[in-house]
Structure 1
Amino acid sequence: MRCSVVRELDSLDAFLKQKGQLHCAVVQGLDFTNVEVDWERLDFDGVVFLGCHFPKEVTADFLINKGAVIFPAFPNLPYNPYRNRLYAREELMEGWTEAEDRSVDKRIYDHFVKKGRSKADILESLAQRLHDHAIDDGVRDLLGGRIETGGEKKVVGIMGGHSTARDDVYYKKVVRLARDLSRAGYFIASGGGPGTMEAANLGAWLIDVSDEELEEVFQILARAPHFESPGYMQAARKVLERHPKGGTSLAIPTWFYGHEPSNLFSKHIAKYFSNSIREDGLLAIATHGVVFAPGSAGTTQEIFMDATQNHYVTFDEVSPMIFLGEKRYTEDTMLFPCLEQLAQGRDYAAYIHCTDEVDSAVSFVRTHPPFKVSK
């Protein structure tokens, strides 16, 4: 049977609501071992099961003979290639203590390194690609408004140096910027690591925090300014203890840079094995703009990747590019004048802006919504 519409069923409630009519459904990562289901009466025409667990009496032969397609589970992996949701910090940090890092995050990273990183064997590579595809699906669900209330997200990406210290002036500016953009109804996405990335997710988390309270947070974090500083994670946890409820945002880190800890201030973590998919995807989802704080080679690469998407209108529209750091981008690197020259005669020429002021950056995002380009 050919399917014009494929339904995703990634929860037991969604599965049971189908009342046995599973044709053209993809069932993702569900455990049926303790669920009462009359398997004989189900309509299996065109159904695909991704990494599901079944009662002993429901065999693979039974499902296949009924017309189902089964993607089986992979053995001996510290991660689930078919996961049906994004990560949360509690899941990734499970097992971490101040004395020793035995977290889920660390175990997956150690496995990734042991398997050769990007040179893994064919089965490990396949499992990693399936995992990253599942993360892609989770990001689409989140940004499409299917995970949280409020409808489709207006995503602004924030990029910058991973080594930016917590007591750096641009770390503090990014925190305020992310807080103010979140208050204005935008959804912050970052690379999910330390430095500027942490500042972005922290600002979104502190959406309801005053300027005075913000200064107290900065004082706590300044005790461990760099991700290699003693007490780095403990300082972040102290902030969370002081502000246990916060705003929502997305972190998109990668195990490719697993020596850098994922920051603790995002509600949703889309962690990838493939860094190239992660970087390109992060820029692609930031349809309401990208802010570039000072950074080094990685940030420079992201600037030109984003410029390429705007230059060739890869996604049928252009969106703002804001450079937060006038000296960095107009004098030290000349990247902003270079981009201005590149954009001459193009639709995105009016969508690039360089400033040192948080208010100016927020205003530019608000006054430059995504612009649809007719090809």
Structure 2
Amino acid sequence: MPTKFTPLSCPILRTIDDEWLLSGQRDLTNTTLVDIDLREVTLNWEALKVDESTLFIGCILPLATEMALRQRGANFLSAPTTLPYRPLRRNLYVWRELMAGYDPENDESLDLRIYQHFEYSKYCPNINEALWQRLHDFSIDEGLRRLIDFRPNGLPRRKTVGFMGGHGTSRTSPDYARSLRTAKLLTEAGYFIISGGGPGIMEAANLGAYLAGCSESDLEWVLESLATAPKYTDPGFQTAAYRILDRFPDGAESLAIPTWFYGHEPSNLFATYIAKYFSNSIREDTLLAIALYGIVYAPGSAGTTQEIFMDATQNHYGTFGYVSPMVFLGTARYTEETQLFPLLQQLAAGKAYADYLFLTDDPREVLTFIDEHGPLLLS
């Protein structure tokens, strides 16, 4: 079944780079060229086919060339250089980019500056700001397509497993350590971990993936180091993370999908790739859509509960053509404190995803269940 991330669902829109342009491509109709410096390119523009469906976004051309292309119908769009973010990006973020300018005593990081810019317009942006934000989030979508690499059948080549849970969970919490160990086991078994990109359970998931292959004594050292600043509001929170990165510089890959919508939280330093969105609704739907090999739900609050039912809805109606595992890592939370697991069992009765619900406190059982319950294709 086509989805927003499979080739069949994408509009006829090609983002091309310099190599494609110079390799003999001559028809630029229904083509968008993004963020290319074409000033040094020797090219016979008259030989290229262009019309009103040809769009140059953020490209740099000699003025005479641009004017000639405009006369032939091509369209051009350029974002202001005063924005703290780039509306059109070639790649996802990495933590070093978002943390550029950070100092524990004076946070002037790019991440914070983008949030401060966004804070004054997130509820009612003017048309220009809304356009730049939408283009930015489209670029993040494109980056995810390239990273996850979906097949035409809708399944990703990477075996994606998502983690959800409380952003306020302390680094000293048993839920944090349990989530970390679960993500580590899954990564070691070949799964690609995705989190919401914040602190708490989300950090535990990316950190667990990062530490794949490390020993039990290494994990104990990591948890002791993190205990010096257990909450993301504590002084030294990022410093503790830097100590881990210094000791283990070559961690395994994982993905974080955060948002600026909920406010400024410390950047997750353990995710290799960061797909950060302005739109939280797109971000949440995207995270659930791409985690086709399952989602692990550690204890969380209202946000986690919302995501549970969004995921259940996708499974219930077969939104993306597959049923995926929903694993609840916290027996007390999901049976005694909230009754969420029994409720889902009632909703799933008679549906294919009834067999894809699982409750446990054991990271090893999570791995076994996900191994035995691959994405189920719906007819």
Pair in the same fold by TM > 0.5: yes
Q: Does structure 2 retain, via aligned residues, the 8 Å contact 1:192–1:269? A: yes
Match of 2:334, SS?
A: helix
Q: Tell me if structure 2 keeps the 8 A contact 1:52–1:73.
A: no
Q: What do the CA deviations read for 1:1-38 (whole angstroms, capped 9, x no partner)?
A: xxx98463454334333455544432222233444444
Offset at residue 55 of structure 1 (A): 3.1
Secondary structure class of the residue paired with 2:65: coil
Deviations 1:168-225 (A, max 9, x none): 1111111111111111111111100000001111111112212211111111111111
Cα distance change, pair 58–274 in 1 and its aligned pair in 2 (3 A): same
* 1:54 corresponding residue in structure 2: 61
- Give the Cα separation in 2 of the matches to 1:12 and 1:222: 48
TM-aligned CA deviation for residue 272 of structure 1:
0.5
1:16 aligns with 2:59: no
CA distance in 2, matches of 1:217, 1:36: 54
Gaps of 5+ in 2: 1-9
Calculate percent identity across the aligned residue pairs.
Answer: 51
Whether the 8 Å contact between 2:167 and 2:200 is mirrored in structure 1 is yes
> SS state of the match for residue 187, structure 1?
strand
Cα distance change, pair 34–169 in 1 and its aligned pair in 2 (3 A): farther
Alpha-carbon distance in 2 for matches of 1:21, 1:63: 14
Higher normalized contact order (CA 8 Å, seq sep 6+, divided by chain length)? 2
Partner of residue 319, structure 1: 324
* Length, aligned pairs only: 365
Alignment of 1:106-117 (within 5 A): 106-114=112-120, 116-117=121-122
Q: How does 1:71-82 map to 2 (within 5 A)?
A: 71-82=77-88
Match of 1:93 among 91, 96, 99: 99
Any conservation in 2 of the 1:178–1:188 contact (CA below 8 Å)?
Answer: yes
What's the TM-score, normalizing by structure 1? 0.92
Alignment correspondent of 1:203? 208
Q: Residue 153 of structure 1 aligns to which amino acid in structure 2?
A: R
The answer on whether the counterparts of 1:74 and 1:127 sit within 8 Å (CA) in structure 2 is: no
Deviation at 1:346, TM superposition (A): 0.5
Q: Does 1:69 align with 2:69?
A: no
- Give the corresponding residue for 1:256: 261
Deviation at 1:281, TM superposition (A): 1.0
> Any conservation in 1 of the 2:168–2:200 contact (CA below 8 Å)?
yes
Alpha-carbon deviation of 1:263? 0.5
Q: How many angstroms does 1:311 deviate by?
A: 0.7
Partner of 1:302: 307
**TM-superposed deviation, 1:51:** 2.0
CA–CA distance in structure 1, aligned partners of residues 23 and 270 of structure 2: 35
Gapped regions of structure 1 (runs ≥ 5)? none
State the one-letter code of the partner of 1:157: G
Q: Specify whether residues 5 and 233 from structure 1 end up closer, same or farther in structure 2 by C-alpha distance, changes over 3 A only.
A: closer
**Deviations 1:117-151, CA, capped at 9 Å, x for gaps:** 121112111211111111111111111179xxxx8
Q: Give, in whole Å, the separation in 2 of the partners of 1:120 and 1:302.
A: 26
2:371 maps to 1:361: no
Q: Is the 8 A contact 1:9 1:15 kept in 2?
A: no
Query: Is the 2:335–2:341 contact (alpha carbons within 8 Å) kept by the matching residues of 1?
Result: yes
Give the counterpart letter for 1:199 in structure 2.
A
- In structure 2, what is the equivalent of residue 180 of structure 1? 185
Deviation of residue 67 (structure 1)? 4.1
The alpha-carbon deviation at position 43 of structure 1 amounts to 3.7
Indicate conservation of the 8 Å contact 2:93/2:274, yes or no.
Answer: yes
Query: What is the distance in 2 between the residues matched to 1:98 and 1:171?
Result: 24
> Which whole-Å CA distance do the structure 1 matches of 2:132 and 2:79 have between them?
9
Counterpart position of 2:219: 214
SS of residue matched to 1:119:
coil
Match for residue 169 of structure 1?
A: 174
Q: Cα RMSD (Å) of the superposition?
A: 2.0
